Amino acid sequence: MKDDVTSRDDRVANLKGMGCSRKRVEDARFTQGKGNYVDDIKLDGMLFGDFVRSPYAHARITSVNTAPALDVPGVLAVLTAKDLEPLGLHWMPTLAGDKQMVLADGKVLFQGQEVAFVVAEDRYAAADGIDAVEVEYEELPVIVNPFEALQSDTVLREDLVAEDGSLPDGAHGPRKHANHIFTWEAGDKGPTEEVIANADIVAEETMYYHRTHPCPLETCGCVASMDKVNGKLTLYGTFQAPHAIRTVVSLISGIEEHNIRVISPDIGGGFGNKVGAYPGYVCSVVASIVTGKPVKWIEDRMDNLMTTAFARDYHMTGKISATPDGKITGLQCHVTADHGGFDACADPTKFPAGFMNICTGSYDIPTAYLAVDGVYTNKAPGGVSYRCSFRVTEAVYFIERMIEVLAIKLDMDAAELRRINFIKKEQFPYTAALGWEYDSGDYHTAWDKALKAVDYDGLRAEQAQRVADFKAGKTRTLMGIGLSFFTEIVGAGPVKNCDILGLGMFDSCEIRIHPTGSAIARLGTISQGQGHATTFAQILASEIGLPADSITIEEGDTDTAPYGLGTYGSRSTPVAGAATAMAGRKIRAKAQMIAAYLLEVHDDDVEFDVDRFAVKGAPERFKTMKDIAFAAYNQAIPGIEPGLEAVSYYDPPNMTYPFGAYVCVMDIDVDTGVTDIRRFYALDDCGTRINPMIIEGQVHGGLTEALAVALGQEIAYDEMGNVKTGTLMDFFLPTAWEVPNYETDFTVTPSPHHPIGAKGVGESPHVGGVPCFSNAVQDAFRPFGNTHTNMPHDHWRIWKTANDLGLHG
C-alpha cells in the first residue's frame, strides 16, 4: 500500500466523488426490466382490493348493499365505513390538521370518493365485485367554485359545524363560514396598504393558477401484509416518506411502531403525488388484518387523477407599487385557495399555505402583506407540492407575473425592471418582508449571463420587426420572449419551525464501513428517480475517501434506515445530503485517530488528503482509508472502540435558496394558437454541484413538467363536479414530439450554512419554468394590449386571446 505511484488527480478521479458526472448505478436494473416497483410485488396468497367510488360530487348515501358483491366468485370481503367505525378508522387525520373519510360516512364530497373496498382473489374478481355493490345516493347541491362556497348556504362539512350552528376553530384558527378552512397571514397589512395607497405607480392583477396533478407514470399503490403469528405488519408502498407513513399507521391503527415495517421499493416518479396518506393504504391494512392475507391496492390512472393529490388551484389577486423609475415599494397578495372536500394539503404544520410567503421573489421589496383563505369545495382533496417546495410554484408564478404587469404599467423592459429590483449580492443573508432569511445569492451575475447568452437585445429587435411585419400583413406568427428569475426555498426544514404531524423535519444518514474498505450507507429519504444511490455515494466518496463504486446506498426500509422525513420539496440534498456529509466527517474523525496510531504520530500531525491520512510535511508516510478500515476491525488500538460506523441526524439551521434565470423564445401562430418553443435557456444556481449529469437531467425534466402545466395540463371540473380530464386522453402529458431541446447553464453560489454548500435542484426548473413559458405567451401579445391571461395556454385559449384582442381581422 505504500507504493504510491498514482497521481493526486488520478486518486481524485478514482473516487468518483462530488463534481463528476458519475453514471447512475440504478440504471442496470431499470434498463433490463428488473426494477422492483410496488405492483411487481407478489406474495403468497395475495389478494387484491379496489374501491367502489362515488359518481357524484356531493350526495348523501342512503344505503350500501354489499351482499350481491359477496356472491361474486372470488370476492372475499367488502369493507364500508360501518366496518371501519368500530376500529375508529372510518376517518383518518390529514397532514393539514383536518380529518378525511377513509370510506364514505353517510355522504360523499367529491367525484371518485371512496365508498366501499372490495377484496377479492384477483383484480378481475374485485372489478366484478365493485359492479355488484349497490349504493343509493341522494344528490346534494354541488359547489366547485370557492367564491360561491363562501357565499353558499350549502354546508359541505357538517362535521365541522357545532350543534348550535357555531363554527369551532379549525386547525389554523378561526373560520369565517362553514365552508371556510383558515385564514393565514404574513407580513404587515396596515403599512403595506398605506404604501400602496400612496404610491405613484400601482399595478393590479387577478390570476388563477389552475388545478393540476403531478401524475407520475406509476400511480399510487401498496401491499399490506399482516403476519398474525409474529404480530408484524409489513407495508410496501409508493411512499415518498416511509418513516412518516410508519408513524401515521401506528398512531391510527394502534399497532406499535416496532411491529410495523414500511418499505418503499423502487418508485416510478412522485413529484408530490406520493407524500400523503390515502384511504387505499388504510383499507389494505384493515383488509389484511381481517383476511390474514397480503392485500394489494393499485390505483388505475383515473383513480389517480381524480382522487389522490391534486396541486395548485389558487385564485390570486395582487397589487404591486413602484416609483416612476421602477423601484418596487410594496406588494400585496390575496389567495383564495380551493382545497376540495377535505383539507389534505401536504405542508409543514405551521404553514397551511406552504411557503407562499416567498412571494416577494428575488426582489428587494421593503413592505409586503399576504393573506390566504382556504376553502372547501366539492373537489378532490390534496394540495400537494407538484415538483416544488410547498406552494413555491404558486408564489413564484405570482411575483413573476406581477413583475411583467408592472413593467407594462411602467412601459418598461421587464428584464431591466427585474435587474433594478434584485436583492444585491452584498445584501445576503437577506431578510425578506414576509420573514424568510435568504441564505445566499448573486442574482445580477446570473441575470446578465442569461441575457447575454440569448442575445436579449437582439431578440427584442427581432420581436419588434415581427410585430411590424404582422401589422403589415407579412406574417401571421408572433414572437414571445418569456423571462423568469426565481428563488426557490427548499430543504424543509429547521425543526424549530418545520414539522409534519409533529415530526420534526430533520433527516438522517447512517454509515457502516466494512473491513475491506467498502461501505453501506442508509438514509431517511427515498429516491423516486433522482438517483440517490449514485449521488449520495459521491458525497460520501469525497468526505471519506473511499470510491463511490465501493459504497452502497440504501433507502426506503424503515427496519434498517434511520428515521427521516422522506423526499419531497427538494429536501434530500439540503437535509439528508448534509446528514451524509456530517456522518462522513464523524467517520473521518475516527479514521484520523486510527491513522495517527498506525503512523505513530500525534492525531494533529496527520491530515486528510483525498483517500488517505498522511503525516503533515511527509506525504510519503500515509495510511489509505482502506488501510484504516481494515485496522479499525482487526487491530486492538488503545482507547478506540473497534469498528468504523457513524450516524448523523441533521437539523438544518436554515432553508436553502436555489435560484435561476430562464429565457424562453416562442413563436405563436395567431390563427391556430399553436405554440412552437424555438429556444429555452435555463441557468440554475443550486450551490455546490454534486453530479452535473444528474442536475442537467433534473432541469430537463422539471422544465418539461413546467411546459405541461403552462401550456395545457389541468384537472378541470364541470358545474356538476364531474372531472373532465380524468384520463391521459384529456390530461396533457407532453411527448417527445412537443418538447424542445433545452440549453442548460449554471453559476455556483454555495449555501453558507450547508456542510457541502449544496442547495437542491430537482424542483427549481419547474418553479422557474412555469412562469417562463407563461410569460412567453403573454409577452407575444403585449404589443396588442394584453396584460394577463390565465394558464393553461392551450391552443384554444391562445386562439381566444388573439381573437379577443381583435387579431383575427
Partner 1 sequence: MAKKMHITLTVNGKEEEFLAEPRELLIYTLRERLNYTGAHIGCETSHCGACTVTIDGKSVKACTMFVAQADGADITTIEGIGGPDNLHPLQTAFKEHHGLQCGYCTPGMITRAAKLLEENPNPTEEEIRFGMAGNICRCTGYQNIVKSIQAAAVEMNAPKEAAE
Q: In whole angstroms, what is the distance from residue 386 CA to residue 734 CA?
A: 16
Residue with cell 430537482: 762
Q: Which is nearer to partner 1, 472 or 736 (CB)?
A: 736
Please state, in angstroms and as integers, the Cα–Cα distance from residue 400 to each residue in 113, 284, 388, 417, following that order: 36, 44, 16, 11
Long-range contacts of 470-473 (CB under 8 A, 24+ apart): 470/670
Identify the bridge partners of residue 384 per DSSP, sorted by sequence position: 311
Closest CA to 579 of 527, 531, 647: 647
Q: Which is nearer to partner 1, 34 or 678 (CB)?
A: 34
Shortest gap between Cβ of 656 and partner 1 (angstroms)?
22
Q: In whole angstroms, what is the distance from residue 552 CA to residue 548 CA?
A: 8
Residue 515: all three cell numbers together: 473491513
Q: Considering 100, 111, 113, 240, which one is annotated as catalytic?
A: 240
- What are the counts of helices (DSSP H) followed by strands (DSSP E) for the chain? 20, 33
Q: Which is nearer to partner 1, 592 or 722 (CB)?
A: 722
Shortest gap between Cβ of 554 and partner 1 (angstroms)?
17
Q: Considering 261, 387, 391, 571, which one is annotated as catalytic?
A: 387
Q: Considering 220, 222, 283, 388, which one is annotated as catalytic?
A: 388
Amino acid letter at 651? D
Q: Which is nearer to partner 1, 53 or 175 (CB)?
A: 53
DSSP, collapsed to helix, strand or coil, labels residue 123 as helix
* 621 in active site: no
* 419 in active site: no
Shortest gap between Cβ of 601 and partner 1 (angstroms)?
44
Amino acid letter at 54? S
Q: Which is nearer to partner 1, 73 or 617 (CB)?
A: 73
- Sheet strands side by side (includes 675-685): 477-487, 659-669, 675-685, 743-746
Shortest gap between Cβ of 738 and partner 1 (angstroms)?
8
Shortest gap between Cβ of 347 and partner 1 (angstroms)?
23
Q: Which is nearer to partner 1, 61 or 222 (CB)?
A: 222
Please state, in angstroms and as integers, the Cα–Cα distance from residue 727 to each residue in 707, 730, 733, following that order: 19, 6, 10
Shortest gap between Cβ of 710 and partner 1 (angstroms)?
14
Residue 180: all three cell numbers together: 371556510
Residue 264: all three cell numbers together: 418503499
b/e code 43-61 from CB counts within 10 Å (16+ = b) = eeebbbbbbbbbebbbbeb
Q: Considering 111, 763, 772, 778, which one is annotated as catalytic?
A: 763
Shortest gap between Cβ of 492 and partner 1 (angstroms)?
22
Q: Which is nearer to partner 1, 705 or 714 (CB)?
A: 705
Q: In whole angstroms, what is the distance from residue 235 CA to residue 227 CA?
A: 11
Q: Which is nearer to partner 1, 30 or 633 (CB)?
A: 30
Q: Which is nearer to partner 1, 38 or 500 (CB)?
A: 38
* 53 in active site: no
Q: In whole angstroms, what is the distance from residue 773 CA to residue 82 CA?
A: 49
Query: Which phi and psi (to 5°) does residue 731 adopt?
Result: -95, 115
Q: Which is nearer to partner 1, 97 or 740 (CB)?
A: 740
Identify the bridge partners of residue 204 per DSSP, sorted by sequence position: 319
DSSP, collapsed to helix, strand or coil, labels residue 787 as coil
Shortest gap between Cβ of 804 and partner 1 (angstroms)?
32
Amino acid letter at 10? D
Residue with cell 444585491: 424
* 387 in active site: yes
Burial of 607 per CB tally in 10 Å (0-12, 13-18, 19+): middle
Residue 639 CB neighbours (<10 A): 6
Residues in contact with partner 1 by CB under 8 A are: 23-24, 26-35, 37, 39-40, 42, 73-74, 123-124, 128, 215-219, 266-269, 271, 300-301, 528-531, 693-694, 696-697, 700-705, 727-729, 733, 735-737, 739, 741-742
- Residue 707: left if φ>0, alpha if ψ -120 to 50, beta else—which one? alpha
Angle, helices 764-781/392-410, rounded to nearest 10 degrees: 30
Shortest gap between Cβ of 41 and partner 1 (angstroms)?
9
Shortest gap between Cβ of 707 and partner 1 (angstroms)?
8
Residue 29: all three cell numbers together: 436494473
Q: Are 368 and 360 in contact (CB under 8 A)?
A: yes
Burial of 458 per CB tally in 10 Å (0-12, 13-18, 19+): exposed
- Looking at the annotation, which residues are catalytic? 240, 387-388, 763
